[in-house]
Amino acid sequence: MVTLWLPSPEGAVKLNTDASMTREKISGGGLLLDHEGKLIFAFYKEFGDVNVLTTKSLALLHGLLFCDRGWVQRLLVEVDSAGLVQLLDSGALAKWPLCNSLWRIRGLLQSFNATAKHIFREANTAAYKLATMGSQDDFFSTSLQYLPREIMVTLLLDSRGVPVVRTQCRRE
């Protein structure tokens, strides 16, 4: 299957976030792009010892908190966690600390009149690469020049509409 990152409509911006869990680090990252795929901001943050769904929710929460600083008029949100999107849409509660994150995310999404949408990881590559950056410190930038080269290349390819092949394994 072929998939690609799609830009937001003119006048809107798009927030993509993702999370990474390795033995060394539990972290998240994301970026806000305009309708031409130009960077507004990018971030990376470590979260400590939490589970996968909580990590993904914290990455989204931090991205939304950065958006709440005044960069956004019209917001689209994409994450590659169908489970997180379902939890947000259902209004369901969860165990702490996920419950607190869900509550805060719902409030921020409502304030932006936005919803979170699920996309495949292959269409969320730049956010995934930010989440797996493995920086020594939390990172925030509004400038493309401070991003690692592989993320800059991914953003360029995404803004040009270059598709990515999504491979699926069949279970028999």
Distances (CA, A) of 167 to 10, 119, 171: 31, 15, 13
- Structural domain includes residue 119: yes
Q: pLDDT by residue (tens digit) across 97-116?
A: 899 999 999 999 999 999 99
- Structural domain includes residue 171: no
In the chain, what percentage of residues exceed pLDDT 90? 75
Q: pLDDT by residue (tens digit) across 30-89?
A: 999 999 999 999 999 999 889 999 999 999 999 999 999 887 889 999 999 999 999 999
Provide the number of structural domains found in the chain: 1
Token readout for 43 is: 């971030």
Q: How far apart are CA 19 and CA 27, in angstroms?
A: 6
- Structural domain includes residue 144: yes
- Structural domain includes residue 95: yes
- Structural domain includes residue 170: no
Write the CATH number for 34: 3.30.420.10
Domain enclosing residue 95, as ranges: 2-165
- Structural domain includes residue 172: no
Model pLDDT, residue 154: 95
- Structural domain includes residue 19: yes
Residue among 13, 18, 15 at smallest CA distance from 36:
13
Q: How far apart are CA 55 and CA 50, in angstroms?
A: 6
Which residue in the block uniquely carries the two structure tokens 């003119």?
10
More confident residue, 56 or 167: 56
Token readout for 91 is: 């209004």
* Residues ≥6 apart with Cβ < 8 Å to 5: 16, 37, 119, 123, 124, 125, 126, 158
